[in-house]
Structure 1
Amino acid sequence: MLGLLLAHSALTQVVTFVLRPTTAYRAIELDVPTAWLGALTASFAVVPLVLAVPSGQATDRFGERRVMLAGAVLLLLSAVVLASGRGGAAGLVAGSVVLGTGHLLSVVGQQAAVANTAGPGRFDTAFGHYTFAASLGQALGPALITVAGGEGALPDTRPIFLVAAGIAVLLLACTVVLRFPVRERSGDAAEPGGMGTLLRLPGLLRALTVSCVVLAAVDITLVYLPALGADRGLAAGTVGLLLTLRAAASMTSRFFLGRLVRLTGRRRLMLSSVALAAGTMAAVAVPMPVAGTAALVVLLGLGLGVGQPLTMSWLAEMAPAGLRGRAMSLRLTGNRLGQVLIPSTVGLLAAGVGSAGVLWATAGALALAGAAARRLHVDGP
């Protein structure tokens, strides 16, 4: 079961991380202004922002598999919508909304399954391996841009969308065969005041802030690194390689997360990783040879890889067993809020200075999140 769950995580991210950069390239083909790419990024999170908490409640009540099945169907539908090429910029937004909703349902189900099956004291390792599988998908997704779209500065997007649809079919098949141990599910009347219990967890707001800013930073690299590469005449294959390096570096930090936590503690690891991400995000925007950018992107990936699994393991440890689906959905609500507000805000603030300005503004947001996390207590009891 664990192997299938990790495969499900990887396939979900492959579909998502090939569709999102390709959507950005399609927007560039349609001459969508750079500042509006932030709005396209945010459209991925708008509907999921509203559905995040209800999806957690559905997971606790009906089980992880049913929620993941609905997510897989929507991911397939999004690939079909984007491949159709209809509707211009509005069609891209619609496809991104469906993609974001399918991704949300898949991820909530996956994270609740990990939280409910990991043994005591193994949350850091379990979520490290889970997010390692997610990073594997994030690495493979952009690489498919080169394979299916060619080597030009702007790839042929339709074949890429069709490949993503095929992978979504495989994801759906994987979901159908998944089985989880039968556990007592929470009903509507169970756990009275359960969400209030979660909201009163000490340090929750700071942890959610770090989580949402780090995730928004990953989103921004997916959209604005291709835009930065187009500004500088880099081939799409080169940009795809940079995105793959970022994801592969995140895989490394996540695979060894359990050991890193045992060596340094969650709080120290979180602070150092956010600081590393902020510094390298700012440096990536500076013009330099591709080799230098690649080295910085690796460091950026190492920093960005830690925040998500650390907040997951902390929440899983703190939340009662019957509320873990809702706990993960609450974290995802914060993430989606950040995905809506942060890219749009930095896109507007940096519209006059282009893609590099967006990356600098994102580095500033990471630095502020790191400062807010200085008083965060996420180390286990």
Structure 2
Amino acid sequence: MAEDAPAAQGAKALALRLLPLIGGQLCLHAAMTGLRMAAPLLALHEGHSAAAVGGLLALFAVAPIVLALPAGRMADRHGYHRPLRWAVALAFGGALLAVLATLLPVGWHYAVLCAAAMLCGGGANFGLIAIQRTAGRLVSDPTGLKRVFSWLGLAPALSNVVGPVIAGVVIDAAGFGAAFAVLALLPLASLLWSRRVPREVPAAAPAGAPRSHRASWELLTAPPMRRLLLVNWLLSSSWDVHSFVVPVLGHERGLSASAIGLILGAFALAVAGVRLVIPLLAHRLREGAVLAGAMLLTAAVFAVYPLAHAALAMGACAVVLGLALGTVQPMIMSTLHQITPQARHGEAIALRSMTINLSSALMPLGFGMAGAAFGAAGVFWLMGAMVGAGAWPARRLAATG
């Protein structure tokens, strides 16, 4: 217990240093999540098909795939503030385009909203890479890294609530144009938070240091990096499959929309809860062991989930799954910072971002085809088998922690 008290004090001090980064990410990400809720809603109100709405949602992940490596290299060269300004400009521009869409003839709305989705999605991810790189520089030890990325992981969890709630309230009160205008103000607030982040002196590039796309991909020649991205992809896909299949499974079980929403809400609360606890226990945790345990627990939950018919039982599965997957990002980011050169952390984070966004753009199509062939339960069982098999490469990451 005497050892835990200093750990708690250290976690509190680190959280205060992280506050400007958390606030900046919260504002950027909330603008994107608000637009991601409001833009498809406007498209549906105007009579666009579900397929068109799905395409609009997919575009939020397209620009991050293209912009990730430039964002990572810019962060490595210039630190935090320059890429953050680019991120704010992209997100702000996307929200303004959404405002413009409401002022144009209806026939133009969908095309302009698509452009807005790409800009806002790209801006949020551009900023995320700079924020994660800067956060990783606040500490140098594995315990500190786990604490840093546990606290930082609260920002997207909160923004998934803040953005849609703001958008929904303003839409009901004043319409879509006003909602998009309010969302446009959120990225500007990130600039205010950035004033509390110390400026980093750019490091001089080593003579002959490569800066090409090929050089970035050469990070993948390291086996630990390949294993890390595989584990990250499997666990990220587990998150996506839960969001995709639970509404389908709940509909098959005859659950109400509110019950399904509560199940997904229980999952989100469990994720946030475990990330609050990790900083207090970080000195006792090992990345590889936690990731392997999370994968085995996820596989077990996916095996049981389709057998749960009542909302309460599904909610219990969601909580256990949230506790497992909530541990993933801090462990992944801590490991990534340990296995890559410090001068290339931005590029490494960018590669991770690309795999996640590519998965988010493509995996729903795979889930849909698997669901048509095997049913919602079959998707859970198939994904569970894949995640369970991934526990072995995750365990091997222990050597890097």
Give the letter aligned to residue 152 of structure 2: Y
2:323 to 297, 302, 317: 302
Shift of 1:209: 1.5
Residue 313 of structure 2 corresponds to which residue in structure 1?
A: 292
Matches within 5 A, 1:263-274: 263-274=284-295
Residue 71 of structure 2 corresponds to which residue in structure 1?
A: 55
Shift of 1:110: 0.7
Q: Does 1:46 align with 2:62?
A: yes
Residue 137 of structure 1 corresponds to which residue in structure 2?
A: 159
Residue 11 of structure 2 corresponds to which residue in structure 1?
A: none
Give the letter aligned to residue 124 of structure 1: K
Change (3 A) 1:369 1:248: same
Partners in 2 of 1:158 and 1:240 — Cα distance?
A: 25
Q: Secondary structure at the match of 1:43?
A: helix
Change (3 A) 1:42 1:167: closer
Partners in 1 of 2:80 and 2:348 — Cα distance?
A: 14
**Backbone CA RMSD of aligned residues:** 3.8
Select between 73-82 and 245-254 the one with higher mean Cα deviation: 73-82
Q: Does 1:98 align with 2:119?
A: yes
Deviations 1:317-365 (A, max 9, x none): 2322221111211221222232233222222332456766655554455
Partners in 1 of 2:94 and 2:263 — Cα distance?
A: 25
5+ residue gaps, structure 2? 1-16
Aligned residue pairs total 372
Contact (CA 8 Å) 1:132, 1:252: kept in 2 or not?
no
Select between 329-338 and 175-184 the one with higher mean Cα deviation: 175-184
Change (3 A) 1:187 1:78: same
Partners in 1 of 2:55 and 2:392 — Cα distance?
A: 27
1:124 to 146, 155, 160: 146
Change (3 A) 1:16 1:272: farther
Give the letter aligned to residue 156 of structure 2: A
Q: Does 1:67 align with 2:89?
A: no
Residue 234 of structure 1 corresponds to which residue in structure 2?
A: 256
Contact (CA 8 Å) 1:39, 1:344: kept in 2 or not?
no
Give the letter aligned to residue 331 of structure 1: R
Change (3 A) 1:12 1:244: farther
Deviations 1:264-304 (A, max 9, x none): 42112101212323443565556633333322222222122
Q: Secondary structure at the match of 1:336?
A: helix
Shift of 1:145: 7.4
Residue 321 of structure 1 corresponds to which residue in structure 2?
A: 342
5+ residue gaps, structure 1? 150-155
The alignment-based identity, stated in percent, is 26
Q: Does 1:336 align with 2:352?
A: no
Change (3 A) 1:82 1:338: same
Partners in 2 of 1:198 and 1:171 — Cα distance?
A: 32
Change (3 A) 1:241 1:91: farther
Partners in 1 of 2:96 and 2:359 — Cα distance?
A: 27
Shift of 1:61: 1.7
Residue 185 of structure 1 corresponds to which residue in structure 2?
A: 203
Higher relative contact order (CA 8 A, sep 6+): 1
Shift of 1:225: 4.7
Contact (CA 8 Å) 2:167, 2:183: kept in 1 or not?
no
Partners in 2 of 1:119 and 1:175 — Cα distance?
A: 26
Partners in 2 of 1:158 and 1:364 — Cα distance?
A: 48
Matches within 5 A, 1:345-364: 345-351=366-372, 362-364=383-385
Q: Secondary structure at the match of 1:66?
A: helix
Contact (CA 8 Å) 2:286, 2:398: kept in 1 or not?
no
Give the letter aligned to residue 72 of structure 2: G
Give the letter aligned to residue 254 of structure 1: R
Select between 272-281 and 217-226 the one with higher mean Cα deviation: 217-226
Select between 268-277 and 345-354 the one with higher mean Cα deviation: 345-354
Partners in 1 of 2:249 and 2:174 — Cα distance?
A: 22
Give the letter aligned to residue 134 of structure 1: P
Give the letter aligned to residue 76 of structure 2: D
Partners in 2 of 1:215 and 1:15 — Cα distance?
A: 22
Give the letter aligned to residue 267 of structure 2: R
Shift of 1:31: 6.5
Residue 253 of structure 1 corresponds to which residue in structure 2?
A: 274
Partners in 2 of 1:6 and 1:362 — Cα distance?
A: 32
Change (3 A) 1:319 1:379: closer
Select between 156-165 and 239-248 the one with higher mean Cα deviation: 156-165
Give the letter aligned to residue 183 of structure 1: V
Change (3 A) 1:68 1:345: same
Partners in 2 of 1:297 and 1:159 — Cα distance?
A: 34
Partners in 1 of 2:130 and 2:193 — Cα distance?
A: 15
Give the letter aligned to residue 104 of structure 1: N
Residue 174 of structure 1 corresponds to which residue in structure 2?
A: 190
Contact (CA 8 Å) 1:74, 1:98: kept in 2 or not?
yes
The structure with the largest alpha-carbon Rg is 2
Could you tell me the TM-score, scaled by structure 1's length? 0.79
